[in-house]
Structure 1
């Protein structure tokens, strides 16, 4: 895919509607100047811009391999919002989040995926498990599925906890071949019976060119590691993901072993 084919729209937040307090980072429902509602993920929240980087990269990888994810947009937040909010906690969050944040298109009327109620095709379940193994997403458990059912289709949300190793310091990308033991707790693992087939298909899609195009979307001012330029930090993400894809048989086998222990 040519790099120029990948872009995110920019919108201005015009109205803060309500906090979504079920999220640990206190996301909010906002209205933007395009007339749409978005779930806004704040740069000033606890995990900072690294959570936004994970949301962006993993979300666009999911989209690239054909999984459904709400549209991601860059949301510009004016400093004036922090002055008018009466809740002090939210006021601080807004003040620390002035500038460029990340929004997910709000899926009105969507319901949380429930494995006791909703059934998925084994291929789709395998695709989601593969994605989460690739990106070390620890946050897709029965307790917190981070999946929605909207118009009878599965949509993936909330990837801020993925790529968690990028919180460990400037050499984080060197552990790209690390195991992902948390796959044993994945809510879709029992249904993921086509991992080998999905692995072959997704490796074809996630070429080095496509990975680089996705990582290039990350804004400079979200890349805050001291002593490293934005381009050097992007290179770390590219290297990490390329190496994970190249060694995907390892995490697929790990997932297969964990699944055999369950079923």
Structure 2
């Protein structure tokens, strides 16, 4: 299939970045039949990342397959803050890890990280195991219940981009997310902060002295998220990046043990 024809087909299907997508599909397909199969999936509305089998995040390819949450570029703010707080040899936990993109990015930018990631979704865990660096561990289970007990009191950084869309808001999400990503990765409960509150509540028991929990949420949720982190006994701050439309709440434990 010629690139111009493929571009026109994608544009007619509503793909905003049709030229870039056409180039990627042609580069990833092994023959015309494979290209046609991938194109048909994309035209039908499947996320490009699921069609390609990978997503780009902070200059790295992250494995994603059908039914797995696609990492958002806005999560770069959370990674930036984690890297700024990190130190060589830090113990890092990535909860609600999905494809493992966030933890892997921190491990790539902070030396000798001892990385643990966890997710309740088996397909996401399989992708994360392909994404994280050698030596990192990916655990299957619900939030901190999946973590090894010997990490208690030793975690320097706990980070998560939990589901934070209010249940009532799921119906208004773009079809690519609503129809192709798992509900468990999107649905944050009545106000969108149900999972975030659960993480905030358990974080102090895992954090080392001076450790921090970093949680992504929507801008309008920042005050409530900060209150949840403070209610857990942590000092809480929030930061918003207008350009990326990204918000991160950071809770720090300063008390000696």
TM-score relative to the length of structure 2:
0.32
Structure with the higher strand share, 1 or 2? 2
- Larger Cα-atom Rg: 2
